[in-house]
Amino acid sequence: MEATAEQLLWMYEKMVEIREYEETMAKVYLEAKLPPKIQKGLAFDIGAGPVPGEMHLAAGQEPVAVGVCAHLRRDDTVVGAHRPHHFAIAKDVDLNAMTAEMYGKATGLGRGKGGHMHLFDPAVKFSCSGIVGAGAPQACGAALAAKKLGTDAVAIAFFGEGAANQGAFHEALNLAALWKLPVVFVVEDNKYGISVEKSASTAIASNADRAAAYGMPGVLVEKNDAVAVFEAAGVAVARARRGEGPTLIEVKTDRYYGHFQGDPETYRPKGEAKELRQHDPIPTLGALLRSRDLLDDEADAALRARVSARVQAAYDFGRNSPYPEPQDALLHVFAE
Amino acid sequence: MSTTTTTRRLTMAQAISEATAQEMARDPRVFVMGEDVGKYGGIFSATTGLLDQFGPERVMDTPISETGFMGAALGAAAEGLRPISELMFVDFFGVCFDQIYNHIAKNHYMSGGACKYPLVITTGIGGGYNDAAQHSQCLYSIFAHVPGLKVVVPSNAYDAKGLMTSAIRDDNPVVFLYHKGIMGLSWMSYFEGSTNEVPEEQYTIPFGQARVVREGSDVTIVTLSQMVQKSVLAAEKLAEEGISAEVLDLRTLVPLDRAAVLKSVKRTGRLLVADEDYLSYGLSGEIAALVAENIDTVRLKAPVRRLAVPDVPIPFSRPLENFAIPQVENIVASVRGLMTFKLDQ
């Protein structure tokens, strides 16, 4: 399935947006976390600054999100993982409310109750979880609902290669194949499960091979490339929509930042992240667009200005929104 | 409104499956899944007859993979369906607790109220039939401890039907725990009292309303589930000795009818909590703390007493199990002890 000009341009713009979002967050997140004079034993205060808590950035992994989400509709479900921004942005989650959530503001998606690992936007059927592997069975449930309701909606579970060693992953794959659920499991292999290299956690080279054990197609996308992901996902999503069951896709991708911001990355060869950025998938897609006369300098500049304005507006909205009233902590334990 | 009511005597298992069937007929979004809920009708008969009536699309046997189908229940509930997901024995919660306490219980809260998860987890609890430590626990306090789950523990068929109907209609996750020993199973001896008159018509029992099973003036026995039947038997024995025991069935742990507990204890001045869960950090401690926190309004004539499993796993051998799980005679003895106590004035 070949991407149309419109789809290619959409993926490019979304990738630029995700990158801009993540690079901005990398700066915003650091505010007030590094003391002016590094104190002994305290170099980084995770709870300080405008955006508190852990922060997991996805810069470098944009192709996985856009290549899959280019095939999705508003009524398709996406369950993301603890590193969720690229999926959320590609699924058109409300950017202002999502950003406000990370600031812990009353205007956030979860009114400040979830934070960056727990983003819920029912309007576009997006959710994620801070628990590794937990989203896979949940995506099965959404797919089951689509089947029961007689719609042709599909569900996507995104997670890292570390999650593929969780029991939840294996139970979900079996259930999906058994019940022929319209679900696509997408493994982002960014080589590291927190600090542990894939070769030290997983007995086989590609999780795509595990699909055979459950009787579903397994596809390995070896390039961190939006078009390559788009093509693999297109087949899988179409298959799911036709009611023919699940697919497992593994994408080899790159994580430019540490597992979390502040991660000393002692497990990583020096200069690795810098080296990975030499193969940035965004200029690669940009070059493809240019070769097809779909993009020129002027259009690129206009697109980047548009994206910057959106991202900046989201950060301004988050920063300037009010905090919730402290006693609002007591609300929303139960639905009324 | 109809004024004619047809009642029959039903077992608790029949009452639960009838409530489920009536809700499934009323609301096409309701469906059941779990291990052996189809042809087998549920290992404790909680889904008997449902497959014949509704077919395999709505009564789904699952693989033995609780994480998978509990997570699927959440995902389906998020899309507006109303799953009933059976965890065969509560003892198995460990294999899927992440989905229950990190997701099913918390996602509504973390979404700031934006998402709803209307689902029911049904599960069998309790011992008394020598199934040992991995198949005999109650554990409801663990579920009640985590904010975001409603916890229902019925003691009889009438309540079970009304509470189950409420559970399915609730927009929140509800954990519905039924004691195997009062389901009315033909293959398990049980205490009289759980099989009772049940109207054919649908009805609901609101959560958070304890029921006075037996009125009394000398002592309040706060209890639930199968221990209600044991407490009633104990109260009958105590009556022969001239001791008037009130038996209060909590029916739900979340929400908890604190007012009913306090009202009764204020009147009787004595409290025994009779519980089949573990003693420490559990329901009995919660009820005792409730009274302690209101000691300015409750005039106790004796210290609070707790009767529960003495912090040992449930043993297999009959005399060991009988010792570990509170019995009728233990309740009688505890109440007698409360009656002889003289508090310094």
Specify whether the CB–CB gap between B1 and B195 falls below 8 A.
no
**CB A175 to CB B72 under 8 A?**
yes
What integer pLDDT is reported at residue B186 of this predicted model? 86
Domains of chain B: 8-199 (3.40.50.970), 211-340 (3.40.50.920)
A175 shares contact with chain B (CB less than 8 Å)? yes
Tens digits of pLDDT across chain B (345 residues): 456 778 899 999 999 999 999 999 999 999 999 999 999 999 999 999 999 999 999 999 999 999 999 999 999 999 999 999 999 999 999 999 999 999 999 999 999 999 999 999 999 999 999 999 999 999 999 999 999 999 999 999 999 999 999 999 999 999 999 999 999 998 887 777 899 999 999 999 999 999 999 999 999 999 999 999 999 999 999 999 999 999 999 999 999 999 999 999 999 999 999 999 999 999 999 999 999 999 999 999 999 999 999 999 999 999 999 999 999 999 999 999 999 987 665
Q: Which residue has the higher pLDDT, A336 or A122?
A: A122
B78 shares contact with chain A (CB less than 8 Å)? yes
B115 shares contact with chain A (CB less than 8 Å)? yes
B67 shares contact with chain A (CB less than 8 Å)? yes
Q: How far is B213 from chain A (nearest CA, A)?
A: 29
Catalytic residue among B103, B108, B135, B179: B135
- Is B329 a catalytic site residue? no
User: B17: how many CB neighbours lie within 10 A of its CB?
Assistant: 26
A96 shares contact with chain B (CB less than 8 Å)? no
A110 shares contact with chain B (CB less than 8 Å)? yes
- Alpha-carbon distance of A92 to A87, in angstroms, equals 9
**CB B75 to CB A139 under 8 A?**
yes
Q: How far is A195 from chain B (nearest CA, A)?
A: 23
A118 shares contact with chain B (CB less than 8 Å)? yes
A131 shares contact with chain B (CB less than 8 Å)? yes
pLDDT in tens, A279-316: 999 999 999 999 999 999 999 999 999 999 999 999 99
Q: For chains A and B, what is the number of CB pairs under 8 angstroms?
A: 151
Residue type, B318: R
What integer pLDDT is reported at residue B219 of this predicted model? 98
pLDDT in tens, A233-274: 999 999 999 999 999 999 999 999 999 998 889 999 999 999
What integer pLDDT is reported at residue A40 of this predicted model? 58
User: B303: how many CB neighbours lie within 10 A of its CB?
Assistant: 12
* SS3 label, residue B341: coil
Is the torsion defined by CA of B29, B33, B39, B41 positive or negative?
Answer: negative
> Which of A112, A131, A141 shows the shortest C-beta gap to B75?
A141
Alpha-carbon distance values, A97 to A25, A122, A261, A316, B112 (Å) = 15, 12, 22, 11, 12
Closest CA to B235 of B244, B226, B227: B244
Residue type, A22: E
- Alpha-carbon distance of A119 to A111, in angstroms, equals 10
**CB B114 to CB A333 under 8 A?**
no
Catalytic residue among B18, B23, B35, B66: B66
Question: Number of H helices and number of E strands within chain A?
Answer: 10, 8
Q: How far is B104 from chain A (nearest CA, A)?
A: 10
**CB B114 to CB A120 under 8 A?**
yes
- State the DSSP code for B274: E
Specify whether the CB–CB gap between A40 and A235 falls below 8 A.
no
Closest CA to A127 of A91, A172, A167, A169: A91
Residue A105 has pLDDT above 60, yes or no: yes
**CB B115 to CB A122 under 8 A?**
yes
pLDDT in tens, B136-189: 999 999 999 999 999 999 999 999 999 999 999 999 999 999 999 999 998 887
- CA B228 distance to own-chain centroid: 11
Question: pTM of the entire structure?
Answer: 0.95
Residue A37 has pLDDT above 70, yes or no: no
- Strands, E assignment, A126-182: 126-128, 155-160
User: Three-state secondary structure along B111-162?
Assistant: CCCCCCCCCEEEEEECCCCCCCCCCCCCCHHHHHHCCCCEEECCCCHHHHHH
Strands B219-223 and B245-249: parallel
Specify whether the CB–CB gap between B114 and A101 falls below 8 A.
no
pLDDT in tens, B3-12: 677 889 999 9
B76 shares contact with chain A (CB less than 8 Å)? yes
**CB A111 to CB B77 under 8 A?**
no
Buried b (16+ CB within 10 A) or exposed e, A129-155: bbbbbbbbbbbbbbbbbbbbeeeebbb
User: Three-state secondary structure along B190-242?
Assistant: CCCCCCEEEECCCCCCCCCCCEEEECCCCEEEEECCHHHHHHHHHHHHHHHCC
Please provide the size of chain B in residues. 345
Specify whether the CB–CB gap between A216 and A89 falls below 8 A.
no
**CB B115 to CB A120 under 8 A?**
yes
Among chain A residues, CA nearest to B60: A179
- Is B103 a catalytic site residue? no
Nearest 5°: the CA angle B81, B86, B92 is: 135
Residue ranges of the alpha helices (H) in A94-166?
A: 95-103, 135-149
A334 shares contact with chain B (CB less than 8 Å)? yes
**CB B68 to CB A171 under 8 A?**
yes
Is the torsion defined by CA of A119, A122, A123, A128 positive or negative?
Answer: positive
Specify whether the CB–CB gap between A79 and B76 falls below 8 A.
no
**CB A134 to CB B99 under 8 A?**
yes
What mean pLDDT, rounded, does chain A reach? 96
Reported as type and span, the H/E element at residue A237 is helix A226-241
Closest CA to A86 of A1, A172, A186: A186
Maximal CA-CA distance, chain B: 66
**CB A175 to CB B147 under 8 A?**
no
Residue type, B68: G
> Which of A137, A174, A332 shows the shortest C-beta gap to B109?
A332
> Which of A111, A127, A136 shows the shortest C-beta gap to B112?
A111
> Which of A111, A141, A175 shows the shortest C-beta gap to B74?
A141
Among chain A residues, CA nearest to B96: A168
The structure tokens listed for B276 are 């089949």
Alpha-carbon distance values, B88 to B26, B31, B37, B83 (Å) = 25, 16, 9, 15
Alpha-carbon distance values, A127 to A106, A177, A274 (Å) = 18, 23, 31
What integer pLDDT is reported at residue B342 of this predicted model? 77
B71 shares contact with chain A (CB less than 8 Å)? yes
CATH class of A5-321: alpha beta
